[in-house]
Structure 1
């Protein structure tokens, strides 16, 4: 998840998400040492100062290291454009041209599977909005482009009993959900680019969900499955107390202005 900083949202004591590893199990491995965390502070500052290709590399390093950082310090470092990096698994997964597939299934007439080339061949839509974290940080005027989620749902043919959509991810842990009405909005994207470049591994590429009018935890990284369901199935963070309807300005007791 790319979410967090001050002030933290008060949530109930976490419970393991359905079908996910216990949070402590996810954090196993050699934790990040103090020296490396301090090094990351300098590296993050250098990347922000230089920008461009170096910043992309720094983003990947910060994202990878943050998965083994028990201090939480790396989550406070700004990546490219001011993003923060969080993952609920213990690695940053990768898929490419040869092995990436996005499936659309569940309560549909025609289950589908899309390669990256298939998704690029569909009509592309570009949106520029603020990205808003539920805990306070915001990245203004961020461009995402890709295929409208409704285009994929229409291609598969949603059955009458389908009222919601569940999203699964190839990290093997994360999940999200929308109602069917929400999923059919014009500002819900299956995103292939961010700021006019392919979505990187660190940012959830090669394909991620982008739910523009909602807090960023709804925009699932590393998207691999779209499943039409009978009812809404709360996503990973909703099991931890986050709002299922994560509209900016209407969720978790905050009063932020809606995104542009």
Structure 2
């Protein structure tokens, strides 16, 4: 398993199979066993979705980053660049994005490890609107996403990116997206496991092929449809 861990959590890297086995112990057993509780804190640092905080030792979404540190950007210094195979590349400020037509989705957030946050509201600009404004060229096949943590990347096919349930999200749970949740702007891909919804979004690049993202390079599925993907194609080693 990758050696990165949450900035809020310590602990030893734990594989996904061990994590799933731990879930099988049940919430009551976890609360009653301090040693297992401490071990679970270590597992939380290996959850790419940040949803392990829904376990008894959490209290909602848990902060997660694959980078050692992530800069905190405000409305004054945030920019989102749209480029690549487009006729009209553009750089958006946060104010620009807020001024565009907004869409609201209320969907379940699904973690690859089985945890789910039902009925989570997200609001933002449909990715398809930004692509249309940029003028995607006929040779384009995919969209690559980069993040201002300097490490995380993701990709979608062009057809996936044009779905109406894919947002460049500005709000989550009826609040502006906080830094810990990937703000001020993150991707939200409603029909896929949450690792596809890249936090701290800073770049949208239209490409001629799908470029596997951070977790795909570690064995997770490139197409992460909830219920159809197995979430992980192998068990990476440290």
Q: What TM-score range do you get, normalising by the shorter chain? A: 0.7 to 0.9
Q: Which has the higher helix share?
A: 1
- In 2, Cα distance between equivalents of 1:236 and 1:93: 19
Aligned to 2:134: 156
When the two structures are aligned, how many residues end up with a matched partner?
Answer: 196
Deviation at 1:81, TM superposition (A): 6.5
CA deviation map 1:38-90 (0-9, x unaligned): xxxxxxxxxxxxxxxxxxxxxxxxxxxxxxx9934566444987323321111
- In 1, Cα distance between equivalents of 2:189 and 2:58: 20
Distance 1:80 1:100, change over 3 A: farther
Task: Name the SS for the 1:102 alignment partner.
Answer: strand
1:190 paired to 2:168: yes
Distance 1:173 1:190, change over 3 A: same
| From 199, 214, 229, the counterpart of 2:177 | 199
Aligned to 1:213: 191
TM-score, scaled to structure 2: 0.76
Deviation at 1:98, TM superposition (A): 1.3
| From 200, 207, 223, the counterpart of 1:222 | 200
Q: Superposition pairs for residues 108-123 of structure 1, below 5 Å? A: 108-123=86-101
Q: Which has the higher contact order (CA 8 A, sep 6+)?
A: 1
Distance 1:77 1:128, change over 3 A: closer
Task: Name the SS for the 1:99 alignment partner.
Answer: coil
Q: Superposition pairs for residues 125-140 of structure 1, below 5 Å? A: 125-140=103-118
Computed over aligned residues only, the root mean square deviation of the Cα atoms, in angstroms, reads: 2.6
Q: Residues 92 and 202 of structure 1 are in contact (CA less than 8 Å); yes or no, is this contact kept in structure 2?
A: no
Which consecutive residues of structure 2, in runs of 5 or more, have no partner in the other structure?
A: 12-39, 233-238
- In 2, Cα distance between equivalents of 1:137 and 1:111: 38
CA deviation map 1:67-125 (0-9, x unaligned): xx993456644498732332111124311111100000000001100000000000000
CA deviation map 1:192-250 (0-9, x unaligned): 00011100000000000000000000000000000000000000000011110100001
Which consecutive residues of structure 1, in runs of 5 or more, have no partner in the other structure?
A: 1-13, 15-22, 34-68, 255-260
TM-score, scaled to structure 1: 0.69
